[in-house]
Amino acid sequence: MLFNSYIFIFVFFPITLIGFYLIGGRTKKTAIAWLFFASLVFYGWWHPVYLVIIIGSILFNYFVGRFITTSESIPPGYILAFGITCNLLLIGYYKYAVFFVSNITYFTNYDFQLEPIILPLGISFFTFQQIAYLVDAHDKTVKKHDLLHYCAFVAFFPQLIAGPIINQKELLPQLVGKISARINYGDFAVGLTVFSLGLAKKTLIADNIAVYVTPGFTAVSSINLAFFEAWFIALAYTLQLYFDFSGYSDMAIGLARFFGIRIPINFNSPYKAVSIIDFWRRWHITLSRFLREYLYIPLGGNRRGSVRRYVNITITMLLGGLWHGAGWTFVIWGGLHGLYILINHFWRSITHFETKSRNNPKILALILSRMLTFVAVVIAWVFFRSENLSDAINFLSSMFGINGISLPSAFKDYFQGLTTSSSLAILEFGVGGAFPNRILAWRNGLPSIAFLLAVVWFFPNVQQFMGMDGSGKLDFQKGLPGRLRKIRWQPRFVFILLNILVLAISIMAIQGESEFLYFQF
């Protein structure tokens, strides 16, 4: 999905913010109503007809939730099952109908075609958020609120399109009791900082990496990439996806803070993970929480023995992969991560590696575990990004050297015995003319990729720099260790100037419309 960032930054958001503090300053109700109205404008800007879907979904789930908590004639479990089924049917039609029909056609040879369906923005996010709400209503953990508060909870524009997936207990109490249309300059300072850092991640890093990623994954359908090309492109996409999605999450956290609302952290340096289990505690944290609390645990979790536990993990990760997109590449990506987790659990059960390494750190072991985890994640991302299975297999064949390993001509005399042909090809996109520019793209981008890898592996993340915990609360005694605390963010004038400078540079780097990768999910 393409979103005009200039319109958002210079028109929509300022109007929304000014309206919140002027119109909403009268009562809390008017503040909430204004936020809901602005969120509908934000959502309907791209395709107004889909306002019917989100409004219908909100009304349906609100009244089903009320019915769950008040009905005396029908068991709450039946109402819950009905509500979840309707939500799954909605997302199933818009997101998976074409996928299922195409597979039925393929396996049965029955000629049945379904017209392409435009996917409503954020349907996966607001549907999962409301399924969690219904489950919480059934478990009687939802506190009293009215329809207006619920509407604002679901449609709150900073997180509506691409998350985080906010639990009702994190946002509804703020809307009901804590929200205020009085300006809090501390919240403004935090919001400006986190938003500007998120925007910088997106426009200065993710968008610039895309120039290497898109041509590479497009070319793989027609040519065999060289070994180093494939690894370079895979690493570039690994970084692009992280800076794009974590940047959006930071922007959402910052935007919410302008209104005095705290939403949870969604990333915690996932590429520093020392295991796949650790990775999923750090990557898309709110989705991991949803899958654990509303799918894995209801399936039985680890309460019914090792075999059932492994089955539950596999089901959870397969469905988690399918949640990201209607395609076998996403299913395989989820299944591959499920396999990783099973191996991780088995390894821990026989070695207790992570426990030992944390209590008595062994640097080499930690480095090796981090590198192994990172490589496993990079390999899985190939399925996530590829257009189809054939492209993914071709791409991985190049990464594993099955298509041969080409080296620059300067190394011919040293490594000639390692090549699969007598003449060494120079590493460049477009061997055979697929790319007219014939630029050594991996060579041009290698310093940037190497630097960004160092950033994600060794630099503090945004919440560490801010001294922010998982809920968004600031604690200046936490975050950066030792001497690094001197550079921790503080609500001071010098930091505000730096934030404005970063924001200005990031805005100038915007080129018309900017694509957020997770909008398609």
Report d(CA 218, CA 104) in Å as an integer.
Answer: 27
324 flagged as catalytic: yes
Residue 139 parent element (H or E) = none
Report d(CA 255, CA 274) in Å as an integer.
Answer: 32
CA-CA-CA-CA dihedral for 432, 438, 443, 446, to nearest 10? -90
Query: Which residues are CB-contacts of 200 (< 8 A; sequence separation ≥ 6)?
Result: 247, 502, 503, 505, 506
Centre a 10 Å sphere on the Cβ of residue 201 and count the other Cβ atoms it contains.
23
Report d(CA 180, CA 174) in Å as an integer.
Answer: 9
3-state DSSP of 170-224: HHHHHHHHHCCCCCCHHHHHHHHHHHHHHHHHHHHHHHHHHHHHHHHHHHCCCCC
Query: Which residues are CB-contacts of 135 (< 8 A; sequence separation ≥ 6)?
Result: 80, 84, 294
Query: Which residues are CB-contacts of 181 (< 8 A; sequence separation ≥ 6)?
Result: 20, 21, 24, 25, 26, 28, 30, 31
Query: Which residues are CB-contacts of 436 (< 8 A; sequence separation ≥ 6)?
Result: 430
Q: Work out the burial of residue 97: count CB atoms within 10 Å of its CB; fewer than 13 is exposed, 13-18 middle, 19 or more buried.
A: middle
Is the separation of the CB atoms in 198 and 254 below 8 Å?
A: yes
Q: Annotated catalytic residue: which of 324, 337, 345, 352?
A: 324
Is the separation of the CB atoms in 232 and 212 below 8 Å?
A: yes
Taking alpha carbons only, the member of 105, 107, 174, 182 closest to residue 143 is 174
Report d(CA 158, CA 43) in Å as an integer.
Answer: 10
What does 2-42 look like in DSSP terms, one character per residue? EEEHHHIIIIIHHHHHHHHHHTTTS-HHHHHHHHHHHHHHH
Taking alpha carbons only, the member of 233, 224, 226 closest to residue 407 is 226
For 123, the 3-state DSSP assignment is helix
3-state DSSP of 314-333: HHHHHHHHHHHCCCHHHHHH
What region does 300 belong to: left with phi over 0, alpha with psi -120 to 50, or beta? Answer: left
Exposure on the CB side of residue 387, measured as CA atoms within 13 A: 11
Residue 513 parent element (H or E) = strand 513-515
Report d(CA 74, CA 458) in Å as an integer.
Answer: 55
Would you state the structure tokens that stand for residue 232, as one six-digit string?
Answer: 């370079």
Instruction: Give the residue numbers marked as catalytic.
Output: 324
